[in-house]
């Protein structure tokens, strides 16, 4: 509770300072003797307290108690600008004694109310404070002091004139003492302030120390955390799966982890502090200067590169190294992370060699090899393919296979994908496809090609296809030539026989004609005589008048003569003979011509080059002509029996080939029988040729009653160049050609049945209509 | 709120309503609340305070300006919070931050008679500084906490000014007829700034000692707790500042504080010296007034 104050004084008063107890006690002058002084103490209101009255008896004990705290410091008074005082110490014997009694006092003011002059005394201590050396005991005559505002000096002679109890003097005293009070409080305040400052200082220091401690602790904590963190990082680095080194800017190794040790074989202590040239001799020379080191290390920065490392045992190993430059807070270091790539390099080398091998194989292959992806684009082509197709390899890649190479049929019509046999089969179910198609070159020319497509399958999925192909144009041309040559050869071989065949009829045609000539010559005379006889009769007699009567007009002698001549000639001529023989001769001659004509026709038919296209063909007739043409080959050793199915449908085929085939088979049959007849002469064999229709096929059987085919060569008879005939008698191509014609060219079948020593039958089946150009089916 | 209708005799809002109103407007800047919380937490360190303060760049700048002023005698220029905290200590920087933040509340408005927000702010800062000085001179370790208590002890008054302005004016007018400020408050508002301030201090989670100072600085005998020392410091400072002319509401009337003096073992000289030194201290920290 307490009560409120509106001034400091009130405040002080409120809590009852000692001052309050004091009133003003003035010492009446009359009580003060000469040389007596009185110490006054005044409060702020100017009320005075007498402290001591020398010579007035014992000092007031109450007052005395206050004095120690009354430190009147003249010096501080002057500092506080309250007043300036120049003391003059009174020459008073009691002065010393008084001062002696208050040794704590820094100074004292002795205000002596002497009769004439009040005196102020300062102790030597107080005077010294002012920097004045004042002799002890000198009299203060004047007080010079500033008034309360501190701005003026007032020299006031004190009491000289006035003396006694004057209000002015007391006012002055009051002023002075007020000033003293100020001093006093100032000093004590100073002390208090000093104390306060010490306290402040202490407490601040303590607080700051606490703050500093806190800061230190926090920093320590952070450092510890950092250390832990660093430790962890170091552990990570040490145990990493790749080799790690750290080198400083001069290239000296500062850190080397476990894996690095394993790779290089060095223990860390053997390597730390050494230059990195120890393990990477190529990178940096051991004696390289800082400039060079810096350049090298800097150039390694960023990206991986392959370098050669050197192990402790001196072996060089390929290393993949990545270097980075790191700022560690106070300097730069280089961190290298690396791995041993020996294995990888070996694999790379192997791969490279394999690749090279593959490349060489592809390049060297004579066949065209082309790879397609699942969208049917060309992804690679070997040189042979490029050459055959007339494109540079680089331009082939990326193009669509079908549109580039078999966009048109062999007839010249555009061939869309869906109609293209190869495309139809591509990426279908079949893994392997063979076929034949027309391929077109870049320049617009074409060639026939045999191709094989095989699919590439990776883990069950189709990833592409490989097409190998061959230009069979040449082959086909050769084949055609060969066939033609063979045909001509056959014809050549048959020529002698045919010559024979033609010769015989030609002979008797000649004979018959010669007979006719003789006969005619004989008949000539007869005809002449007859003509003469007729001449007797005039040509133009009267019409219808040549009757009996007219007969008498003629000369009968002439007539009789002529008749007689005629009779003679008739008798000379063997007319009956001639009349019988001449028609016969004519008939035979005509037959002979017929014969020749037939042979010639057969030859024509046989050797007529049909266009290289399949055509509907009358098989029976073809067989007939072939038999005719080859007659000479078989007529001596066998009879030929034909058993043709009537109305056999026309077979779409290559007529030349079929004729060739029949010829070869018939000739073989004839030779087979020939061998038998040689052993058993006198007995002719039989060649039976029959044709039948069997569903979509026609069946041709050619049977001979020859030696048969021995078992051990039965599997070989169709082989090219295989022959059982002696040298000079056929080249062994016959059956091979037959098979080629039947199977390859016509899609038919050929088979044989044989009984050794008895007979052999060859059975050829041909499709009446060819089954499109369907590719033959390969194995799954 | 406005100045309108202060003569109207409408009933003043209840304390709870006023609190609710204050809540809506969330008067104290968030950063100040955060700083307070950081400072309260004994586990928090310089880094935490720095972090909180860095969210308000303007605040940090003002604090640094203060730190670099002659009041703190730094030899080199302090350029960041970390340095400041290292140099002056966590508590002092906290105090600067809160001072800077709270000053926002006192902006603007014209005077009402002898009262002005500016004057009230001066009073608060003066009491804070004085209380701190007092605590330091009595060798009390937590002198920085005492500063905060002194700074915030009259926060109730500014809140009344802001949120029940009309009635606040009536209270000021009533002062002419006599009576102390709290007495008039209670008469017209039904509560006084210590009660309002105390509730707000709770809400805003001021430190315990600050709450005590706010609540009991006019009624210390009602308090029985461990922050008595702080309370006494604030009391003494309040009286000294008021008598020196740094008044809260323009009335130079100070409670006497006998128990405080006794408890703090203050002598007259102590008070005298303090009163004298106060002017100088205020001059040194002049930046805080304009902060």
pLDDT in tens, A584-612: 889 989 988 998 898 888 888 777 766 66
Question: Which of A2, A7, A12, A209 is the best substitution to test chain B (most B C-beta atoms within 10 A)?
Answer: A2
Which whole number is the average pLDDT over A66-84? Answer: 31
Side-chain-side CA neighbours of residue A774 (13 Å):
8
> How close, in Å, is residue B110 to chain A by CA atoms?
27
pLDDT of res. A48? 37
Min Cα distance A325 → chain B (Å) is 31
pLDDT digits (tens, 9 = 90+) for A537-571: 766 555 554 555 555 666 677 778 878 878 888 88
Does B262 reach chain A within 8 Å, measured CB to CB? Answer: no
Residue A393: pLDDT band with limits 50, 70, 90: confident
Q: CA–CA separation, A689 vs B44, rounded Å?
A: 121
> Distance between CA B48 and CA B57 in Å, rounded?
15
- How many residues does this entry show for chain B? 291
Q: Please tell me which of A300-309, A523-532, B182-191 the model is most confident about, judged by mean pLDDT.
A: B182-191
The closest of A415, A442, A434, A417 to A472, measured between CA atoms, is A434
pLDDT of residue A356: 92
Which pLDDT score is estimated for A534?
78
Sign of CA dihedral A66, A68, A69, A75: positive
Q: In this structure, are strands A461-471 and A446-458 parallel, antiparallel, or unpaired?
A: antiparallel
Strands A759-767, A638-643: pairing is unpaired
pLDDT in tens, A405-432: 878 777 777 877 777 777 777 777 777 7
pLDDT of residue A766: 93
Q: What is the pLDDT of residue A239?
A: 84
Question: How confident is the model at residue A138, as a pLDDT?
Answer: 33
pLDDT confidence bin for A152, thresholds 50/70/90: very low
pLDDT band at residue A72 using 50, 70 and 90 as cut-offs: very low
Average pLDDT, chain A: 72
Cα–Cα distance measured from residue A382 to residue A367, given in angstroms and rounded to the nearest whole number = 9
Alpha carbon of A4: minimum distance to chain B alpha carbons (Å): 5
B256–A3 CB contact, under 8 Å? yes
Gap between the Cα atoms of A738 and A730, Å rounded: 14
**What is the pLDDT at residue A558?**
74
The reported pLDDT for the residue numbered B75 is 77
Q: Which of the two residues, A454 and A107, has the higher pLDDT score?
A: A454
Q: Are strands A304-310 and A378-381 parallel, antiparallel or unpaired?
A: unpaired
Interatomic CA distance for residues B185 and A513, integer angstroms: 174
Residue A729, pLDDT score:
64
CB contact under 8 A, B253 and A14: no
- Is residue A579's pLDDT more than 90? no
A642/A649 Cα distance (integer angstroms): 17
Chain segment A28-41, per-residue pLDDT in tens: 333 333 223 334 43
Nearest 5 degrees, angle CA A304-CA A308-CA A312? 125
Q: Specify the DSSP element, H or E, that contains A499.
A: helix A473-536
Joined together, the tokens standing for residue B212 give 């005590």
pLDDT of residue A655: 87
What per-residue confidence (pLDDT) applies to A240?
A: 85
Give pLDDT tens digits for A153-205: 333 333 333 333 334 444 444 444 444 444 455 566 667 777 887 888 888 88
**Token digits for B113?**
């008679």
Residues linked to residue A764 through DSSP beta bridges, in sequence order? A700, A750
Tell me whether residues B89 and A207 touch, CB distance under 8 A.
yes
Is residue A274 predicted with pLDDT exceeding 50? Answer: yes
* pLDDT on residue A472: 84
Kindly report which listed range (A86-95, B89-98, B241-250) carries the lowest average pLDDT score. Answer: A86-95
Is A762 in contact with A701 (CB distance < 8 Å)? yes
Note the pTM of the prediction, 2 decimals. Answer: 0.43
- Nearest-angstrom CA–CA distance, B207 and B204: 9
| Residue B239, phi then psi, degrees to nearest 5 | -65, -45
Q: Look at B91 and A14 and tell me if their CB atoms are within 8 Å.
A: no
b/e sequence A63-98, b meaning 16+ C-beta within 10 Å: beebbeebbbbbbbbbebebbebbbbbbebebbeeb
Query: Between A421 and A388, whose confidence is greater?
Result: A388
Would the pLDDT of A763 be above 90? yes
- Percentage of the residues of chain A whose pLDDT score is greater than 70: 70
Question: pLDDT-derived band of residue A352, with 50, 70 and 90 as boundaries?
Answer: very high
The mean pLDDT value for A222-248 works out to: 87
- The Cα A253–Cα A267 span in angstroms is 13
Question: Which of B45, B267, B268, B281 to mutate against chain A (most A CBs within 10 Å)?
Answer: B268
Alpha carbon of residue A414 to chain centroid: 37
Taking the Cβ of residue B46 and every Cβ of chain A, the question of whether any pair is shorter than 8 Å is answered with yes
Identify the closest residue of chain B to A198 by CA–CA distance: B137
- Angle (CA) B241-B243-B245 rounded to 5° is 75
Distance from CA of A217 to the nearest CA of B (A): 10
The predicted pLDDT at position A12 comes to 47
The residues pairing with A368 across neighbouring beta strands, listed in sequence order, are: A469
Which range, of A56-65, A464-473, B160-169, averages the lowest pLDDT?
A56-65
C-alpha span between A75 and A187 (Å, rounded):
10
> Taking CB atoms and an 8 Å cutoff, what residues of chain A touch B139?
199, 202-203
User: Is pLDDT of A132 > 70?
Assistant: no
Under a CB-based contact definition with an 8 Å cutoff, are residues B1 and B172 in contact? no
pLDDT above 90 coverage of chain B, percent: 17
Give the minimum alpha-carbon distance from A20 to chain B in angstroms, rounded to a whole number: 13
Average of per-residue pLDDT across A234-261: 86
Report the largest interatomic distance among the alpha carbons of chain A, rounded to a whole angstrom. 258
Q: What does the alpha-carbon distance between residue A608 and residue B79 come to, in Å, rounded to a whole number?
A: 117
Q: Is B94 helix (H, G, I), strand (E, B) or coil?
A: helix
pLDDT of res. B3: 46
Buried b (16+ CB within 10 A) or exposed e, A440-449: bbeeeebbbb
**For residues A730-757, average pLDDT:** 85
State the DSSP string of A593-648.
HHHHHHHHHHHHHHH----SS-EEE-HHHHHHHHHHHTHHHHTTTEEEEEEPPTTP
The Cα A70–Cα A188 span in angstroms is 9
pLDDT at position B223 is 85
**B171 contacts chain A (CB < 8 A):** no
* Beta pairing partners, A453: A433, A467
Model pLDDT, residue A730 = 64
Option in B45, B252, B274 nearest A214 (CB): B45
Q: What is the pLDDT of residue B126?
A: 92
pLDDT at residue A102, as a whole number: 38
pLDDT tens per residue, range B32-57? 888 888 877 777 778 888 888 888 88
Q: Would the CB atoms of B256 and A188 count as touching at under 8 Å?
A: no
């Amino acid at each position: 509770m307490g009560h409120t104050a509106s001034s400091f004084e009130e405040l002080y008063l409120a809590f009852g300072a000692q001052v309050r107890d004091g009133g003003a006690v003035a010492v009446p002058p009359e009580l003060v003797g000469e040389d007596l002084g009185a110490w006054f103490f005044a409060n702020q209101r100017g009320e005075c307290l007498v402290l001591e009255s020398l010579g007035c008896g014992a000092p007031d004990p109450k007052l005395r108690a206050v004095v120690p705290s009354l430190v009147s410091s003249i010096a501080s008074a002057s500092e506080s600008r309250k007043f300036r005082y120049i003391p003059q110490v009174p020459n008073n014997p009691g002065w010393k004694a008084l001062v002696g009694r208050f040794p704590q006092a820094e100074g004292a003011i002795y205000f002596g109310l002497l009769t004439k002059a009040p005196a102020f005394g300062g102790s030597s201590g107080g005077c010294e404070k002012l920097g004045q050396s004042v002799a002890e005991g000198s009299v203060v005559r004047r007080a010079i002091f500033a008034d309360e505002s501190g701005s003026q000096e007032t020299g006031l002679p004190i009491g000289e004139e006035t003396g006694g109890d004057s209000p002015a003097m007391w006012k002055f005293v009051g002023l002075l003492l007020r000033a003293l009070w100020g001093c006093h409080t100032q000093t004590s305040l100073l002390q208090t302030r000093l104390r306060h400052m010490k306290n402040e200082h202490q407490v601040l220091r303590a607080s700051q120390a606490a703050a500093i401690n806190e800061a230190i602790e926090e920093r320590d904590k952070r450092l510890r955390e950092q250390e832990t963190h660093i430790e962890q990082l170091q552990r990570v680095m040490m145990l990493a799966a790749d080799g790690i080194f750290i080198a400083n800017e001069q290239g000296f190794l500062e850190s080397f982890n476990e894996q690095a040790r394993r790779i290089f074989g060095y223990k860390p202590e053997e390597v730390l502090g050494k230059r990195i040239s120890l393990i990477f001799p190529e990178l940096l020379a051991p004696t390289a200067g800082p400039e060079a080191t810096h350049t090298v290390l800097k150039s390694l920065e960023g990206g991986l590169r392959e370098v050669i490392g050197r192990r402790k045992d001196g072996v060089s190993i390929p290393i993949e190294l990545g270097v980075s430059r790191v700022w560690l807070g106070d300097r730069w270091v280089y961190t290298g992370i690396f791995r041993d790539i020996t294995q990888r390099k070996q694999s790379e080398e192997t791969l490279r060699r394999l690749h090279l091998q593959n490349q060489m194989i592809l390049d060297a292959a004579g066949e065209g090899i082309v790879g397609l992806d699942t969208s049917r684009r060309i992804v690679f082509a070997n040189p042979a393919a490029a050459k055959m197709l007339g494109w540079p390899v680089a331009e082939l890649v990326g193009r669509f296979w079908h549109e580039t190479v078999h966009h048109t049929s062999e007839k010249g019509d555009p061939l869309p994908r869906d109609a293209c046999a190869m495309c139809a089969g591509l990426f279908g179910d079949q893994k392997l496809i063979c076929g034949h198609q027309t391929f077109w070159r870049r320049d617009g020319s074409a060639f026939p090609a045999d191709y094989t497509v095989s699919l590439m399958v990776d883990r069950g999925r189709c990833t592409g296809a490989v097409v190998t192909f061959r230009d069979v144009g040449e082959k086909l041309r050769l084949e055609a030539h060969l066939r033609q040559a063979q045909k001509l050869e056959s014809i050549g071989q048959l020529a002698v026989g045919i010559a024979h065949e033609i010769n015989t009829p030609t002979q008797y045609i000649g004979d018959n004609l010669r007979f006719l000539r003789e006969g005619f010559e004989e008949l000539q005379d007869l005809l002449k005589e007859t003509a003469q006889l007729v001449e007797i009769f005039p040509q133009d007699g009267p019409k219808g008048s040549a009757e009996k009567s007219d007969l008498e007009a003629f000369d009968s002698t002439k007539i009789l003569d002529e008749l007689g001549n005629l009779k003679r000639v008739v008798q000379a001529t063997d007319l009956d003979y001639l009349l019988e023989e001449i028609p016969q001769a004519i008939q035979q001659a005509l037959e002979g011509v017929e014969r020749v004509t037939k042979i010639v026709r057969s030859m024509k038919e046989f050797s007529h080059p049909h266009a290289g296209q399949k055509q509907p063909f009358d098989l029976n007739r073809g067989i007939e002509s072939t038999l005719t043409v080859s007659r000479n080959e078989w007529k001596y050793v066998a009879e030929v029996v034909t058993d043709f199915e009537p109305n056999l449908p026309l077979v779409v085929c290559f007529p030349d080939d079929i004729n060739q085939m029949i010829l070869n088979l018939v000739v073989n049959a004839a030779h087979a029988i020939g061998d038998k007849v040689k052993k058993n002469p006198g007995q002719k064999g039989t060649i039976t040729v029959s044709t039948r229709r069997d569903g979509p096929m026609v069946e041709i059987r050619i049977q001979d009653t020859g030696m048969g085919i021995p078992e051990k060569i039965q599997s070989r008879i169709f082989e090219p160049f295989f022959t059982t005939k002696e040298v000079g008698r056929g080249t062994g191509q016959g059956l091979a050609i037959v098979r080629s014609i039947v199977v390859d060219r016509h899609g038919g079948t050929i088979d044989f049945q044989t009984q050794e020593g008895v007979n052999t039958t060859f059975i050829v089946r041909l499709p009446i209509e060819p089954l499109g150009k369907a590719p033959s089916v390969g194995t799954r | 709120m406005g100045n309108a209708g202060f003569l109207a005799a409408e009933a003043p809002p209840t304390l709870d309503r006023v609190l609710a109103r204050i809540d809506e407007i969330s008067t104290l800047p968030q950063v100040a609340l955060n700083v307070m919380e950081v400072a309260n937490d004994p586990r928090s360190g310089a880094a935490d305070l720095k972090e909180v303060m860095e969210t308000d760049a303007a605040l940090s700048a003002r604090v640094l300006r203060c730190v670099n002023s002659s009041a703190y005698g730094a030899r080199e220029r302090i350029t960041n919070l970390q340095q400041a905290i290292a140099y002056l200590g966590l508590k002092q920087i906290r105090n600067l931050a809160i001072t800077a933040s709270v000053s926002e509340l006192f902006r603007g408005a014209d005077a009402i008679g002898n009262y002005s927000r500016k004057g009230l702010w001066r009073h608060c800062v003066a009491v804070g500084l004085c209380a701190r000085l007092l605590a330091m001179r009595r060798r009390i370790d937590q002198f920085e906490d005492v500063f905060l208590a002194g700074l915030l002890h009259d926060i109730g008054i500014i809140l009344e000014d802001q949120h029940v302005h009309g009635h606040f004016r009536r209270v000021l007018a009533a002062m002419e007829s006599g009576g102390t400020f709290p007495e008039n408050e209670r008469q017209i508002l039904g509560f006084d700034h210590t009660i309002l301030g105390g509730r707000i201090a709770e809400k805003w989670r001021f430190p315990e000692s600050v709450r005590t100072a706010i609540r009991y600085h006019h009624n210390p005998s009602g308090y029985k707790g461990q922050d008595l020392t702080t309370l006494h410091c604030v009391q003494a400072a309040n009286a000294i500042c008021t008598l020196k002319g740094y008044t809260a509401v323009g009335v130079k009337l100070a409670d006497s504080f006998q128990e405080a003096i006794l408890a703090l073992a203050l002598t007259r000289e102590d008070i005298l010296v303090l009163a004298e030194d106060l002017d100088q201290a205020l001059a040194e920290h002049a930046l805080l007034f304009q902060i």
